């Protein structure tokens, strides 16, 4: 608890320092840009996108500059704004939602709404705004590097150490005559593979190609994992007398060498096994050794993808990302149109509510709506109590600061909404009438929640029970590719297939099948 308090406090202070630093560099008119940069930067640090920071920089720069330019153009005319907002929100949402287990569109669209509704630039301010967004892009990439530069390596090394240790311990148990299964050990390995596959999928920076290093590590992880399960068959053959103690000791020595990264005796071992009549368990183990040798010799094809192809991707009209992006673009785009057309002073809360409550799945959206109502209701009551005691602007500013700080400790959405409400009302009430601000906050929450609910229920609806089947179908498609065309870039298909299992939350029941198919594809590809 103490460590959490210290880390949260330090992070909160650093956030404040960053915004002041950004404001001092790019001017007070670009203070909101600093907040947007911080929101996006911290949001995407949840994913390791460090495989190609150059590509990531270009992609973020395009999005950020478009945010700056379009936040000016959209306010020139409501009809023009409606068209601009629809296409921008759709493409940004689709690009950041497609293929991701946890969508991270929210920070980008929220940033766009902040720049459009809270701090729209004038024509004379636009060049400075674009300079600030350019500088902010490099800061976002810098945050990504600081937070995630070692993420992949740490997860990889942890899993390699785990699986090789388990292999070693499993061999020791077999030699000692212990043939019991250890489900906790197997589950630990599976969890490690899950973490490794996730970070491998994420770090490609918007679905770029795998590097030779990534291909090598994928092969290692799968081969070692397969070896672990093959030892079950080895144990049975040893118990039945099909394998003698000499072969078992050779396996033990080989696994010890693997822990030290030594494959030098692999050819000698394979040659010996090929001369002698060996049971299927040893033949399959030999295949795993050959897979490791194959990747060492770079026998797998390297998929090359041009820079333009990484930026311009096709749209899958059958995907859930497409349906959700359309729904969000229509609802947020229309809310912006209404706010602009009728010049609604506090209409931004209408837009923010819709953005927060329009979620990919209907069930998730409905639950979040309930939480938002509860949190806002309690937050309004708490705020009324606070402003009855603290009335001047300096005290209100302190309320905003404290509410913002306490909110960083809240993980539950309803609890977080209490302090977001206090923070928002405190910031808005300075220089105006409290009852007007509170009334508008509640009014736009109710209207926004109603619109979001209707949109989630009837507009390109995604039901929870449909999601697993959808991703199972995508997994089956990649599975078919691995079975029929294993030599056609198997590593990309392996990572993608596992990703579909993760997103569809069906990895537990399909794990062994995925491992077997992936291993066989790698074996056939060399």
Q: Nearest Cα to 147, choosing from 88, 199, 106?
A: 199
Look at residue 328 and tell me if it is in a domain.
no
Residue 414 pLDDT class (50, 70, 90 cuts): confident
Q: Nearest Cα to 425, choosing from 405, 410, 409, 404?
A: 404
- CATH code of the domain covering residue 274: 1.20.120
310: pLDDT strictly greater than 60 = no
If one counts every other C-beta atom within 10 angstroms of the C-beta of residue 409, the result is 13
Look at residue 157 and tell me if it is in a domain.
yes
Residue 179 pLDDT class (50, 70, 90 cuts): confident
47-62 burial by CB neighbour count: b if 16+ within 10 A, else e?
bbbbbbeebbbbbbbe
CA distances from 329 to 26, 89, 347, 422, 488 (A): 31, 5, 17, 28, 37
Split into its structural domains, the chain has a count of: 1
pLDDT of 315 reads: 82
pLDDT of 329 reads: 97
Inter-residue contact 413 to 376 (CB < 8 Å): no
Look at residue 473 and tell me if it is in a domain.
no
CA distance 3 to 128: 40
Confidence (pTM): 0.86
pLDDT of 299 reads: 56
Length of the chain: 526
Q: Is 124 helix (H, G, I), strand (E, B) or coil?
A: coil
Mean pLDDT of 211-223: 89
Look at residue 203 and tell me if it is in a domain.
yes
101: DSSP letter? S
165: pLDDT strictly greater than 80 = yes
Bigger pLDDT: 189 vs 10: 189
pLDDT of 26 reads: 96
Inter-residue contact 61 to 134 (CB < 8 Å): yes
Tokens of 416: 């977080």
Look at residue 450 and tell me if it is in a domain.
no
Percent of the chain whose pLDDT exceeds 90? 40
CA distance 126 to 240: 79
Look at residue 458 and tell me if it is in a domain.
no
CA distance 290 to 284: 10
Under the phi-then-psi rule, with left for phi > 0, alpha for psi from -120 to 50, and beta for the rest, what region is 342? alpha
Which domain range does residue 249 map to?
Answer: 151-303
pLDDT of 433 reads: 57
pLDDT of 307 reads: 54
Look at residue 107 and tell me if it is in a domain.
no
Look at residue 25 and tell me if it is in a domain.
no
CA distance 36 to 107: 8
pLDDT single digits (tens) 5-59: 787 788 888 888 999 999 999 999 999 999 999 999 988 888 899 888 988 999 9
């Amino acid at each position: 608890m103490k460590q959490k308090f210290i880390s949260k406090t330090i992070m909160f202070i650093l956030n404040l320092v960053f915004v002041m630093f950004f404001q001092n560099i790019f001017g007070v008119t670009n203070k909101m840009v600093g907040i947007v940069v911080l929101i996006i930067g911290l949001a995407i640090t949840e994913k390791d996108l460090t495989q190609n920071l150059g590509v990531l920089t270009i992609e973020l720069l395009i999005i950020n500059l478009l945010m700056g330019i379009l936040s000016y153009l959209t306010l020139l005319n409501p009809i023009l704004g409606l068209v601009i907002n629809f296409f921008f929100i759709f493409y940004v949402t689709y690009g950041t939602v497609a293929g991701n287990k946890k969508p991270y569109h929210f920070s980008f669209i929220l940033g766009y709404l902040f720049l459009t509704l809270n701090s729209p630039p004038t024509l004379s301010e636009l060049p400075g705004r674009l300079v600030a967004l350019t500088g902010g892009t490099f800061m976002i990439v810098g945050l990504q590097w600081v937070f995630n530069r070692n993420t992949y390596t740490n997860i990889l090394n942890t899993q390699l150490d785990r699986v090789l240790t388990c292999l070693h311990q499993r061999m020791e148990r077999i030699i000692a005559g212990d043939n019991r299964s250890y489900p906790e050990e197997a589950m630990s390995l599976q969890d490690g593979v899950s973490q490794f596959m996730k970070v491998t999928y994420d770090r490609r920076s918007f679905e770029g190609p795998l590097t030779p290093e990534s291909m090598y590590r994928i092969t290692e992880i799968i081969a070692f994992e397969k070896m672990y399960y093959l030892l079950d068959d080895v144990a049975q053959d040893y118990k039945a007398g099909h394998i003698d103690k000499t072969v078992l000791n050779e396996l033990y020595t080989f696994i010890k060498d693997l822990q030290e990264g030594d494959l030098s005796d692999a050819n000698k071992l394979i040659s010996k096994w090929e001369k002698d009549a060996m049971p299927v368990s040893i033949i399959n183990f030999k295949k795993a050794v050959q897979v490791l040798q194959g990747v060492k010799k770079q026998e797998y094809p390297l998929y090359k993808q041009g820079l333009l192809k990484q930026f311009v991707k096709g749209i899958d009209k059958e995907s859930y990302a497409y349906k959700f992006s359309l729904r969000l673009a229509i609802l947020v785009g229309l809310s912006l149109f209404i706010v602009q057309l009728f010049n609604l002073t506090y209409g931004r809360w209408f837009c923010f509510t819709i953005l927060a409550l329009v979620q990919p799945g209907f069930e998730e959206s409905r639950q979040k709506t309930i939480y938002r109502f509860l949190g806002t209701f309690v937050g309004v009551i708490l705020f009324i109590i606070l402003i009855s005691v603290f009335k001047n602007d300096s005290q209100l500013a302190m309320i905003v600061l404290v509410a913002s700080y306490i909110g960083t400790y809240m993980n539950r959405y309803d609890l977080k909404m209490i302090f977001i409400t206090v923070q928002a009302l405190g910031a808005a009430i300075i220089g105006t009438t409290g009852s007007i601000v509170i009334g508008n906050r509640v009014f736009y929450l109710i209207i926004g929640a109603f619109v979001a609910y209707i949109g989630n229920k009837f507009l390109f609806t995604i039901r929870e029970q449909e999601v697993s089947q959808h991703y199972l179908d995508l997994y089956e498609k990649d599975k078919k590719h691995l079975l029929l065309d294993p030599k056609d870039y198997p590593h990309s298909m392996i990572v993608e297939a596992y990703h579909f299992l993760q997103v569809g939350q069906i990895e537990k029941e399909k794990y062994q099948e995925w491992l077997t198919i992936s291993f066989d594809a790698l074996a056939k590809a060399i």
